[in-house]
Structure 1
Amino acid sequence: MKSVYIAMLAAAGVAMAGQVHADEALAKAKNCMSCHTIDKKLVGPAYKDVAAKYKDDKGAPAMLAAKVKSGGKGVWGQIPMPPNNVTDEEAKKLVAWILSLK
């Protein structure tokens, strides 16, 4: 029984790791990684910094998904983020991934 439990935990870990990589792959496919990295500022803020800033903000997912689609300026400096060619679902998926980073 213990070995079944361990196998289930391992499978869950692999599935979760696959999801993180899938969302990182989406960020790369949509060219988000040309201006952002996971853990250090590039042109835009590091995704971990975004996650930390909005960790307790319940309205952040919707607000950030809208910014991913329409672009924005002024929150992280004067360099604007251009609008991105993503669907609503892709924007939500990207934001969920970003906010999950620690």
Structure 2
Amino acid sequence: MFAALLTANGAARAQSEPTALVNQQHCMFCHTRDAPFLAPSFEQIAERYRDVPGAQAMLEHKLRVGGKAHWGDAAMPLPPDRGGPITPEDAHVLIQWVLRQSAG
């Protein structure tokens, strides 16, 4: 039963992923959902920023224009270096999805 619950939870998470946007912006070149890679995992980002006032707007802005490193030495690449411009609406969708990630 526990395995079925984990499978259902994973399927729901995968269905809610904005896959086209994730692929277009090459998010997985630097991030993974649950483990640090070249950049923090989406779960780490969510843990750090989920309840921080103004964080969603800051992250959306950083996604749209790039920005300095908040973790380690890797800065968020400029849009032309990772898939092209992203609209404010698409940035909002991606950041909302990232902030919904949770461990376990």
Sort the TM-score into its range (normalised by shorter chain). Answer: 0.7 to 0.9
Question: What's the TM-score, normalizing by structure 1?
Answer: 0.75
Q: Which ranges of structure 2 fall in alignment gaps of 5 or more residues?
A: 1-8, 80-84
Q: What per-residue deviation string (whole Å, max 9, x for no partner) do you get for residues 23-78 of structure 1?
A: 14421232111111100111111000000001211211100000001111231111
Q: Who is 2:100 aligned against?
A: 100
Identity over aligned residues, as a percent?
A: 37
Distance 2:88 2:57 in 1: 10
Of residues 32, 36, 51 in structure 2, which corresponds to 1:37? 32
Equivalent residues of 2:69, 2:76 under 8 A apart: no
Higher helix share: 1
1:57 matched to 2:65? The reply is: no
Q: Who is 1:20 aligned against?
A: 16
Question: How many aligned positions are there?
Answer: 87
Question: What's the TM-score, normalizing by structure 2?
Answer: 0.74
In the TM superposition, structure 1's runs of 4+ consecutive aligned residues that sit over 6 Å from their partners are none
